[in-house]
Amino acid sequence: MRRTVRDASAAFTRAPLLTALSITTIAFSLFAFGLFGLVALNIRAALQGVEERVEIRAFVADGTDAQSLAAAAGDIDAFPEVQSVNIVTQDQALARARTELTEFSDVFQSGVLPASIDVKLKPGYRDPATVARVSARLKSYPFVDDVRYGEDWLVQLYRLRNIAGVAGLALGLAFAAVAVIIIGATIRMAVLSRADEISIMRLVGATDGFIRRPFLLEGFAKGILGGLLALGLTWLGMHLIDRYMHFHTVFFSPAMAAAGVVAGALIGVLGSSVAVGRHLRAL
């Protein structure tokens, strides 16, 4: 064990270039991966914010009495999909329009807006199909003139989310594939650069396990270092964006960050193991 540690650490000082290269490559790959992950994470967070605003608005005929409105609101609140129901009177509608559409605020002086029942859905029920279903039920109330929920906009939102997911995954996989090639080649080279050493070890009677151990530890250490470096870089990148874009971003949870570093360690150990194994079998 002591030898293993000593040999593995010796590799760092004996081949600083190759070591730096391996670590940088692992870090770079995980960093690129991490950036894509963060972008996906933030798109999801942003979409969630938008999604929260998914709202069905049922416009009510002029002169509907407040009591039947309240009764209907109670019914609607009991729908399993519904999170909250809100009754908006004609006055409230006008006030809201004035603040939401400042450019046209002059106009609304003379206008009259209908009252409405505004319905918010629970998370998980904000997809276009559910929204359409709930809208249909709202429409069945006799005093409801019209139901609006921005169909086009909702469909677009869902499409964007799906696309972001697919594109992120595809690009991430492409990056990961290239990264695995580079890391594999780096580790294989680390092994080849010590091919003489390995063959001498075998000739003086070292077993495969004895030869393999320091390589695995070396790969593990490189992977951990690469993972930590990537995490640092990603955090730094995020921090800079946060700071200069005044744009609040979501960072990985500690568990996700740890998973990233563990992924680095796994890449290191697996890569080393495969490379050494292949080399030993070829001897």
Partner 1 sequence: MTAAEAVGVLRFDRVTKEYPRSGLALHEVSFRVAKGEFVFLTGPSGAGKSTILRLAYFAERPTSGLVRVSGVNSEHASRREISKLRRRLGIVFQDFRLLEDRTAEENVGFALEVTGVPRAQIGPKVSRVLTQVGLAAKATAFPRELSGGEQQRVAIARALVNDPFVLIADEPTGNLDERATRGVFQLLREINAAGTAIIMATHDLDLVRHADYRTLELNRGQIVFDSAESPEPAA
Least separation in angstroms between CB 260 and partner 1: 33
User: What is the footprint of its own copies within residues 134-193 (CB under 8 A)?
Assistant: 146, 148, 150, 163, 166-167, 170-171, 174-175, 178-179, 181-182, 185-186, 188-189, 192-193
Residue 1 is a binding residue for partner 1 (CB under 8 A): no
Least separation in angstroms between CB 187 and partner 1: 19
CA 12/CA 188 separation, integer angstroms: 16
- Are residues 221 and 264 in contact, defined by beta-carbon separation less than 8 angstroms? no
Quick one: which of 245, 248, 255, 281 contacts its own copies (CB under 8 A)? Answer: 245
User: What is the footprint of its own copies within residues 69-128 (CB under 8 A)?
Assistant: 97, 101, 103-104, 106-108, 110-114
Q: 3-class DSSP state for residue 83?
A: strand
End-to-end Cα distance, the chain: 25
DSSP state, residue 250: P
Quick one: which of 73, 87, 241, 274 contacts its own copies (CB under 8 A)? Answer: 241
CA 45/CA 252 separation, integer angstroms: 12
Displacement of CA 255 from its chain's centroid (Å): 14
Q: 3-class DSSP state for residue 146?
A: strand
CA 231/CA 234 separation, integer angstroms: 5
Least separation in angstroms between CB 193 and its own copies: 7
Look at residue 210 and give the partner it binds from its own copies, partner 1, none, a contact being a CB closer than 5 to 8 Å depending on partner kind. partner 1
CA 172/CA 32 separation, integer angstroms: 8
User: What is the footprint of partner 1 within residues 189-228 (CB under 8 A)?
Assistant: 196-197, 199-208, 210
Residue entry with tokens 């939102």: 157
CA 80/CA 218 separation, integer angstroms: 56
Least separation in angstroms between CB 179 and partner 1: 30
Instruction: Kindly list the residues in this chain that would bind its own copies in the complex (CB under 8 A).
Output: 17-18, 20-21, 24-25, 27-28, 31-32, 35, 59, 97, 101, 103-104, 106-108, 110-114, 146, 148, 150, 163, 166-167, 170-171, 174-175, 178-179, 181-182, 185-186, 188-189, 192-193, 233, 237, 240-241, 244-245, 247
